[in-house]
Amino acid sequence: MATQADSPPAAALAERYRAVRTLSEAIAAPLSDADATLQPMPDASPAKWHLAHSSWFFETFVLRDHVPGHRLWDESWAFLFNSYYEGEGERHPRARRGMLSRPGLAEILAWRAYVDEAVVAALPALPGPVLALVELGLNHEQQHQELMLMDLTAAFAENPLRPALWPGQAQAPAALAPAMGWVEGRPGVAEIGHGGTGFAFDCEGPRHAVLLHPHALADRLVTNGEWLAFIGEDGYSRPELWMADGWAWATDNGIEAPLYWQRCEGGWTRFGLDGVWPLAPAEPVCHISWYEADAFARWSGARLPREEEWEAAASGMDPAAGRQLDGAGPVRARPASGTGLRQMFGDLWEWTMSGYAPYPGFRPCAGAVGEYNGKFMVGQFVLRGGSCATPRGHMRASYRNFFYPHQRWMFAGLRLARDL
């Protein structure tokens, strides 16, 4: 569940509602029904499932529970499009979402229109706590917009033709990245976690004190060129650089480069939603697992940041800065520019060495929406900063993303840190 010190007025929320829902459909606009049904792996979901699940969220937790007389579009769809809410009953197995050839994409879009009309009509009469649920649903849908882009990349990468969903334009090779610099963090007691006004997910609080030891953060993300040097020095075949679980994962799966990289006669290429392109050395390395990021940091004589170091450094910075998702189209991280700490927001999610665990005093909210974050606080690592696929306006310094250490289909890179 979310905190909501300030629920936006109904009129402003209606405008935001339309904008968020429209972006989801714009992302899906180029898709055929077959495209929208593909599930490339159990961790991913079909695009039409994302479109349907976000509508199920609004119809269930807002319309069904708080709008008297609302008629569900199809009662059986709750089984199809519930994700993991045990309080909402049984659901279709996650790994088999790609078998849902029906309902089709057109019918799901019609359902979305039905839900949208009902939500917008109901907004003026909804009390503050229910408006907060709508705000939670919009932030939830923004998460699914990024998931859609991740999952579509994975799906199109499975096609031997390596098609582009949004054809890109050839760009002049970026200049070499500036030499990596270091910015000292402030040691001592600091406070992290969401506090005050505005939306936040429950896992971002409570705000609490942490002790920062002397440290420094790299002033930019690690680049493709630096990753090529890691490969050139046999980084994927040196067990001393890897955690035991990571070494087993890499060797068992034949991992020798980031996801979507391919070695060709003329060098390396990378695949994205804009198709296949030569690898640009100055761009930040993307689609790496925590295991890979940790091994690279050790090879570099450094480490990954702790999440409290990252948040303390990012506090006061503009979360709307950097390359973030502004509309449907190719998503691609950009080389760093400027001075000081760069690329803190946007471009790529940054792995940290911090396990995803509850903050002191954390309590999940009551009811089914209390399952949103808390029950996943085991076995995962925190990422910070957002990415080029994160919708603009969705980020803040306290935001905590989380994935398992072997996963790498998200838009994830790394920033180095070191002890002083």
List, as one string, the DSSP characters of 312-337: HHHTTS-TT-SS-B-SSS--------
At 84 the pLDDT is 85
Residue type, 351: W
> Are 2-157 and 182-419 in the same CATH fold?
no
Q: What is the dihedral of CA 80, 81, 85, 90, to 10 degrees?
A: -10
At 9 the pLDDT is 80
Choose the weakest-confidence range: 101-110, 158-167, 224-233, 345-354.
158-167
Asked whether residue 4 carries a pLDDT value surpassing 60, the answer given is no
Specify the fold of 2-157: Four Helix Bundle (Hemerythrin (Met), subunit A) (1.20.120)
CB-based contact 285:229 (threshold 8 Å): no
Residue ranges per structural domain of the chain: 2-157, 182-419
Joined tokens for residue 206: 């409570």
Asked whether residue 173 carries a pLDDT value surpassing 90, the answer given is no
Q: Domain 182-419, what architecture? A: Alpha-Beta Complex (3.90)
**Residues above pLDDT 90, as percent of the chain:** 85
**Residues above pLDDT 70, as percent of the chain:** 96
Class of residue 302 by CB neighbours under 10 A (exposed 0-12, middle 13-18, buried 19+): buried
Q: State the pTM of this model.
A: 0.95
Joined tokens for residue 385: 């900063």
Cβ neighbours for 139, distance < 8 A, ≥ 6 positions apart: 2, 199, 201, 394
